Chains A and B, each alone.
Chain A
């Protein structure tokens, strides 16, 4: 592995679902890379394939109905899709940790928070019960739960949503992963708690050097936390850019529309203030651009030929025939 190779490189990933004889193209040719210690944001409306992408990296898409229909997921130089199950299992919760959207239900209600962290520690590192327990308390302290030794003996239902998400973070970080996948980690939380959790993740990243793949439907969340952002639409990537560049100069009509939905954005997005229409159903056989049905700029060519993801400026890639789009500053 070259020293400058990214920690994680998803290359043309395709994950489909075969349901009742139909093929749902939930993820259809997605590529991005996460460098060591960096944060990549993946944004897009609900249903665009973000969770499926993240589960695919953990190789936890259930088969059937899921099908890994193509592409590679290269992590630390090896293609995860080609890895034997035993070695993949060692990576899950080991070098790759994951946090989920639903803190209320993501922990097992019948075990204490401490025991659930201990289980992960012992499976991966073979620590003694006592050492694992001490480490679990340390981790709960790391995620800033007050009186961590007591919290370790609490059952999940005795904690609030924010506290449970902290436990989830402790669990995901238990074995010092190189990559932390956070799938909508703050969506289910109150706004103030959201900010605390994001701050905690940033802070832990600085201390542990873990890379983060932050998945969210909320542009406000990625703006403050990510180095680079990927915008997904209907199973594909429509735009990819460093955070600064994306917010300063969004290029895809879909991105522009998304930003119009976020207050405090200083670009006037012509006629896209709300994105009309809805995401095409994933089984639709679309020949052209998937956004064409909702795009004010769409023409014959857009409906006929899918626009490739092509570089505009350094690091700013867009899948739109019309890019670069001329816009007036507000």
Chain B
């Protein structure tokens, strides 16, 4: 187990390095001059030149990159060009809401997707199966921003059931829950489809295997056969799928947070990029990449926990 984690962490180092290069390149090559942003549109050119000099923007790219690496290693991600607060402080404030959104999204969508997929598999070909699969396909094919807008329009504007702007506080407060409901619902809806479809096909495949016949020959109830010897084994590919969808989830979070003005990393990243706040954009991208690596690490651990054949290798 520890070996699995260590291996995965080693493998993440090149990924992380790539992300650092990418984040740096995006900012360096992007149109717009950070010094100009910092100085403000009315500042005279001499002031801008002074700032460029102070920030080392005229040095060779490699030197700039190494300097950037050095700072990142020290945990110094610079200051936001807009708010002048440190990037780490800005990111720190945004991480908690995003983690809350992820939790609020996954905590209902994954169990529901798995339950739907299992039911569809058990009642294969029935009307239940068809309804579930139709919902799943719809969830996969509708773009996330469309789901968000429909939910805002119907639940938020017409029914006035739930707020749809911003965050209401920590997740364990009533207002926090009410505010996170619609973003978590939107983000979860895109997740249910793939999970349900993968679970369905995986359960169907497992139920055909020999060990399931053995389970029946032991005299187990059908329910026990399906849950303990069907679904339990079928979860292995489902977990892999969830890992593969992690990038999708993070992308969805960026869209969802932006539409719902939810103060998380995703909205922070979009805002930073749109306002040419380069240090903040770099930092946000770095955090998103770290989140991607972390999700995959969790998936690997889960995978090893679910499949003893992996664990002992």
Contacts of A93 in B (CB 8 A): 217-220
- In the complex, whether A90 has a CB less than 8 A from a CB of chain B is yes
* Inter-subunit contact B211/A89 (CB<8 Å): no
| Given A108-B211, A109-B233, A123 contacting B218 (CB threshold 8 A) | yes
- Do the beta carbons of B312 and A158 come within 8 Å of each other? yes
B138 within 8 A of A: no
How many Å from the CB of A37 to the closest CB on chain B? 22
Residues of A within 8 A of B217 (CB): 58, 60, 92-93, 97-98, 100, 172
A91 at the interface (CB under 8 A from B): yes
Given contacts A105-B209, A109-B233, contact A100 B219 (CB under 8 A): no
Give chain B residues whose Cβ lies under 8 Å from the Cβ of A112: 308
Known contacts A100-B210, A155-B309, A108 near B229 by CB under 8 Å: yes
Flag whether A110 is at the interface (Cβ < 8 A).
yes
Residues of A within 8 A of B221 (CB): 89
Q: Which B197-249 residues have C-beta < 8 A from chain A?
A: 209-211, 213-221, 224, 228-229, 232-233, 236
* Residue pair B218, A171 in contact (C-beta under 8 Å): yes
In the assembled complex, which residues on chain B have CB atoms less than 8 Å from the CB atom of A165? none
User: Number of A residues whose C-beta is below 8 Å from B?
Assistant: 29
**Which one of A109, A120, A157 lies within 8 Å of B218 (CB-CB)?**
A120
Interface code A212-234, partner B: CB below 8 Å = 1, 0 otherwise? 00000000000000000000000
* CB-based contact B219/A89 at 8 Å: yes
User: Which residues on the A side are within 8 Å of B59 (C-beta)?
Assistant: none
Say yes or no: A124-B219 contact (C-beta < 8 A), given A108-B233, A155-B309. yes
Please tell me if the beta carbons of A105 and B210 are within 8 angstroms of each other in the complex: yes
Rounded to whole angstroms, the CA-CA distance of A155 and B308 in the bound complex is 7
Chain B residue, CB-CB nearest to A85: B222
Please determine whether B216 and A110 come into contact, CB atoms closer than 8 angstroms. no
A107 at the interface (CB under 8 A from B): yes
| Chain B residues with CB under 8 A of A58 | 216-217
Q: B236: which A residues are within 8 A, CB to CB?
A: 110
A155 to B229 Cα, complex, angstroms: 15
Q: Is the CB of A155 within 8 A of B210?
A: no
Contact B308 A120 (CB under 8 A): no
* Complex interface: chain A residues within 8 A of B219 (CB): 89-94, 120, 123-124
Say if the beta carbon of B76 comes within 8 Å of chain A.
no
B102 within 8 A of A: no
A-B contact count (CB 8 A): 73
Minimum distance in angstroms from A163 CB to a CB of chain B: 16
Check: A78 CB closer than 8 A to any chain B CB: no
B214 A107 Cβ-Cβ under 8 A: yes
Q: Is the interface of B mostly helix, strand, loop or mixed?
A: helix
Considering only residues 72-94 of chain A, those with a C-beta below 8 Å from chain B are 89-94
B306 sits at the interface (CB 8 A): yes
The residues of A that contact B308 with a CB separation of less than 8 Å are: 109-110, 112, 155, 157
Q: Smallest Cβ distance from A110 to chain B, in angstroms?
A: 6
Q: Closest CB-CB distance, A120 to chain B, in whole Å?
A: 4
The chain B residue with its CB closest to the CB of A54 is: B217
Q: How far is the CB of A59 from chain B (nearest CB, A)?
A: 10
| Interchain CA distance A98-B213 in the complex, whole Å | 10
A128 within 8 A of B: no
Query: Bound state CA distance, A124 and B229, in angstroms?
Result: 17
Query: A144-163: contact bitstring with B at CB < 8 Å (1 yes, 0 no)?
Result: 00000000000101100000
Determine the distance from Cα of A93 to Cα of B213 in the docked complex, in whole angstroms: 12
B53 within 8 A of A: no
Does A106 make an interface contact (CB < 8 A)? yes
A17 → chain B closest CB, angstroms = 16
Chain B residue nearest to A94 (CB atoms) is B219
* Residues on A with beta carbons closer than 8 Å to the beta carbon of B213: 60, 100, 106
Q: A172 → chain B, closest Cβ, in Å?
A: 8
Partner of B309, one of A97, A102, A109: A109
Q: Does A12 contact B (CB under 8 A)?
A: no
Shortest C-beta distance, B305 to chain A (Å), equals 10
A268 at the interface (CB under 8 A from B): no
- Alpha-carbon gap, A89 to B312, bound state (A): 35
- Which chain A residue lies CB-closest to B309? A157
Most chain B beta carbons < 10 A, residue from A93, A168, A171: A93
Indicate the member of B229, B232, B308, B312 with the most A CB atoms within 10 Å: B308
Chain B, Cβ-Cβ closest to A108 = B211
Q: Complex Cα distance A206/B278, Å?
A: 82
When chains A and B are docked, how far (Å) is the Cα of A155 from the Cα of B218? 18
Q: Which residues of B contact A90 (CB under 8 A)?
A: 219
- 27 CB contacts below 8 A, A to B, read A58-B216, A58-B217, A89-B219, A90-B219, A91-B219, A92-B217, A92-B218, A102-B210, A106-B211, A106-B213, A107-B211, A109-B308, A109-B309, A110-B232, A110-B236, A110-B306, A110-B307, A119-B218, A119-B220, A119-B228, A120-B218, A123-B218, A123-B224, A155-B312, A158-B312, A168-B214, A171-B218
18 further interface pairs, Cβ-Cβ under 8 Å (given A108-B233, A155-B312)? A58-B216, A60-B213, A92-B217, A92-B219, A93-B220, A98-B217, A100-B217, A106-B213, A108-B215, A109-B233, A109-B308, A110-B308, A119-B228, A123-B224, A155-B308, A157-B308, A171-B218, A172-B217
B interface list, Cβ under 8 A from A: 209-211, 213-221, 224, 228-229, 232-233, 236, 306-309, 312
